[in-house]
Structures are given as C-alpha cells and as structure tokens.
Amino acid sequence: MFRLGSITGSNSAVFYPENDIPSLVGKVILITGGSAGLGKQSLIYLAQKKPSEIWFTSRTRSEAEETCKDIRKHAPDATIKPLILDLGSFKSIQSAAQLLLSQINRLDILMLNAGVMGIAPGLTEDGFEIQFGVNYLGHALLTKLLLPILKTTASKGHTVRVVVLSSYSHWNAPEGGIQFQHLKTTAEQIPTLQRYAQSKLANILLARQLAKEHPEVTFVAVHPGAANTDLQAGVTGIGLMERILNATVNRFLLYQPVETVAKHQVWAATTVKELTNGEYYDPLGLLGKRRPEATDEDLATRLWNWTEEELKVFSTLEG
C-alpha cells in the first residue's frame, strides 16, 4: 500500500526552498530537461541560491533561450547556461559532454531530470526502445562521461550529488523487472506505461550500482511525486483501464503543481542531511517502498554489465 503523500509529493510542503536550500555559492550544477516542468522549476529554486553556474539541457536553441529569459525573471543575477542535448542520440550526448567539460572545472550537482512518458512505440537514434533509451540509457552515458569531473570535485572535499529521477510507477514494470530481449526493439508487445515503468526501475538500479562503483559521489534515485506537467499530458496509446486510472488520479487531485513536486529533487540535491548512497527516496526524504527487483543484486549487475557493453563505443571523449 502506498502512502498518499509519497505518491503525490504533497508532503513536500514541509520543505521551503527559499529558507531550506543552503547557499550554493561557488557550486556548478547541471539539470537535464530544464526547459519545462520539474526541471524548469528546479532551475528556478536553485538559481535563486546563487550557484557559480547553473547549466540545463534543452533539445532546441530557441527553447533554451526562452527558458533563460524566464529563469532570469526569478533570479536576475544568476549565471544560467544552456546545453543543447538529445538524450536519444549518443552522438549528441558525447558532443554536449565535451562542450560542458571544456567550460567547467567542477561539477557539484547533476540532476538527471529529463524524460519521456507513455509515448508511441519507437527507437532512439541508436536503436533502443525509446523510453528506455531516453530515460535510462541516455542518462547512463551522460553520467559515465561526467564521472571524472564529479569524482575530481569530490576529491577536493566538496559534497557531490547525482539525483536520478525515478517514479513510484516502477512498480508497473513488466514481469522480471527488465525485459532485456526487447530493449533493442520497439517492444510494442509491452504496454506503453509498462515500458516507461521499466525505464524508471532501471534508474533505481543505476543509482544503486553507481553508488557501489563510485562511493565518493552520492547517487540517489527519487520519486518526486505525481506532477501536473506536459509529461502526463503527452501520454498516448494507453488502454481503457489506464485512461480511467489517469482520469481518477486527476479527479481526486493526486497530481500536484510542479512548484510542490519539484521540491523533492531539489531537497535531494541540496539537503545538509547525509543521504544513504544508492538509496531510493519517496517525497519528502522518506526511504522509498521498492518492488523486489529494485534491490535484486543479480539484476543490478546484469543491467550494469549490459549497459557497459552497449555504451563502450561512446564512453570516451576526444582529447
């Protein structure tokens, strides 16, 4: 049984960003998917605390420029920098990482926020099921490319955190958790929201395994809460029962405003409380209720090894 607050993020009301986020002076931050929804609201909250630089990814230059204008209304003096990135393209991820690393000398917070949900069957540019490819694999590659600077920052005595967005809906992943045999197909035989859930379960396993491999950096997966965003509005190809459930959730106000829900990922990125490395958190700061596969060491190792193999050609940068 889920706690209502842990599903919706409504108990995030106990966190007040203007008072509870500590000063971020000197810190460098990167948020993926910062042009809308939870990512954009996270940008607003964090930019107001005066980090040295706050970067965000966007798919288009025009979208990025509009976002910069909007953020500066809330934080006029913030140093906000866009990074054009398509998480469905390994080449785009390589290029963006290369550019970022040429511009920064530390990275304190990496928020893996971007994602797609419930979209029609498709493949990424590199031939992976699109929701798994964007939500999990693209972020896994980006993190791998940025690990050296994350670890260097940590080695200088700074607290370094990687916040991986997951979802309570990881409970809806297919039998066995991850169906490896379908990851390089459109996986049309798996309902669209189960494909989404599979990617979110993989994100929990990613944080868990990264914490084991690189304990000097803190990696946590978070369910931010059920947000009323364009991500929900974009769900397509779902069945009648799923449509009824979606309507019921809206009817009883389980979806919360982004201003409420974004607090959890911001809390995870900035709280002075010591976090358990590799843990999964429900909002706000509650140890999350996970399906058994989310703590399956064999599954985590299998996914890690599969990911390393699929990414090995793209895991290094020129120069």
Residue 56 phi/psi, 5-degree rounding, is: -145, 150
Longest dimension (CA), the chain: 54
Least confident of 26-40, 62-76, 91-105, 223-237: 223-237
What's the pLDDT at 229?
A: 57
- Mean pLDDT (the chain, rounded): 90
Whether the predicted pLDDT of 317 surpasses 70: yes
Residue 14 has a pLDDT of 80
Split at pLDDT 50, 70, 90, the class of 230 is low
Domain definitions of the chain by residue range: 4-310
pLDDT tens profile 166-205 = 999 999 999 999 999 999 999 999 999 999 999 999 999 9
Q: Topology of 4-310 in CATH?
A: Rossmann fold (3.40.50)
**What are the tens digits of pLDDT across the range 150-167?**
999 999 999 999 999 999
How does pLDDT run across 176-186, given as a tens digit for each residue? 999 999 999 99
pLDDT digits (tens, 9 = 90+) for 256-304: 899 999 999 999 999 999 999 999 999 999 999 999 999 999 999 999 9
Q: Does residue 225 have a pLDDT over 50?
A: yes
pTM of the model: 0.91
Pairing between β-strand 280-282 and β-strand 109-112 as defined by DSSP bridges: unpaired
pLDDT at 125: 98
Q: Which residues are catalytic?
A: 196
